Amino acid sequence: MKKVHNFYAGPSILPEFTYQETIKAIENFAGTGLSIMSISHRSKQFEATLNEATGLFKKLLNIPDGYSVLFLGGGASLQFAMIPFNLMIKKAMYLDTGTWSNKAIKEAKLFGDVEVISSKDKNYSYVPKGFSIPSDADYFHFTSNNTIAGTEIKHDFDSPIPMIADMSSDIFSRPVDVSKYAMIYGGAQKNLGPAGVTFVIIKDDILGKTDRKIPTMLNYQIHIDKGSMFNTPPAMNIFATLQTLKWIDQQGGVEVMQKMNIEKAQILYDAIDNSKLFVVKVDNVEDRSLMNITFVMKEEYKNLEADFLAFASEKGMLGVKGHRSVGGFRASTYNALPKESVIALVETMKEFEKSI
């Protein structure tokens, strides 16, 4: 079987350690003789898994006291509605940098006024800068990494109001000053684990400020009080996420992840910038994502896009086709993607270029 390289944007590559440990737990979880897929979430063995995952979240991100870590269902998309349901009183500010933040804005508008700063005018090819955050808004929301547009916010804003970030696709890829945030959330299926579990890091004292009646399953306080087990949690997915957290810890933590990710991204960006065929879609170098590198054929070579995709696939480069809404190409270089895969993609690009 030929070597394949996984550049899919999500579900995406995970550490080999995560795969192997999860396979073992599917066969025999914690020496119980039962599969992680079929053991009670109330068992002491699974409760230990949940507690360990929560503890490693807090350790790796240096989460201060006064925050809760939750493992929920519904993906980041459900959080788009849960956030305003729980936290919006009258008004919120949203930074619109792509498809996912736009979807979050749509949900927020169901609950109150939404002030929007957007980069839609240039097809989300840059991150807005120099904007003011209104002090009269209930919270400020942004998406830190934009998997479709290929932009990333690599710093933590200073906000005069509670700040919330969707970090679905770059969580644990760099150090984060959690103390600057009221909430950080995301789907696990990009940098953490299988699709089906959503992480939420939430500051406890931001809750309970609206007089809105909140359905039980959508109420953060209920999930905090019940320790992520108000209803049956996605046990296998949480176990797999724990294995990824262990792997990150074994590698040396998020600082090491950041160094590796910068190196991998630079290799690919340099290759694109020096290519006669390809061009990066993001306007400003500082806005380029380290997680999802988006690029297209230069105008005079547009007719070769399908040929390159076929060539790349034949070489074992999987998942390099751009999102269906924008086309082009996308290489997702998440934590678990080895540098060797990036080098293999660069060699494939150069080989294709020589062939035309």
Cite the active site residues. Answer: 100, 166, 190
Q: Are 207 and 220 in contact (CB under 8 A)?
A: yes
The b/e string for 232-253 (b: 16+ C-beta within 10 A; e otherwise) is ebbbbbbbbbbbbbbbbeeeeb
Q: How far apart are CA 9 and CA 190, in angstroms?
A: 7
The tokens for 187 are 């789907």
C-alpha–C-alpha distance, residues 252 and 246, integer Å: 10
Contact (CB, 8 A) for 318 and 278: no
Contacts of 207 (CB under 8 A, 6+ apart): 86, 87, 220, 221, 224
Evaluated on CA atoms 115, 121, 126, 132, the torsion sign reads: negative
Query: How many Å apart are CA 291 and CA 268, to the nearest integer?
Result: 11
Phi, psi of 89 (to 5 degrees): -100, -55
In contact, 197 and 71? CB cutoff 8 Å: yes
Identify whether the C-beta of residue 181 lies closer than 8 Å to the C-beta of residue 49. Answer: no
The alpha carbon of residue 126 and the mean position of all alpha carbons in its chain are separated, in whole angstroms, by: 18
Q: Taking the alpha carbons of 89, 91, 96, 98 in that order, is the dihedral positive or negative?
A: positive
Burial class of residue 313 in the structure, from the number of CB atoms within 10 Å of its CB (0-12 exposed, 13-18 middle, 19+ buried): middle
Contacts of 247 (CB under 8 A, 6+ apart): 15, 17, 18, 336
Q: Beta strands of 209-316 (E only): which ranges?
A: 278-280, 292-297
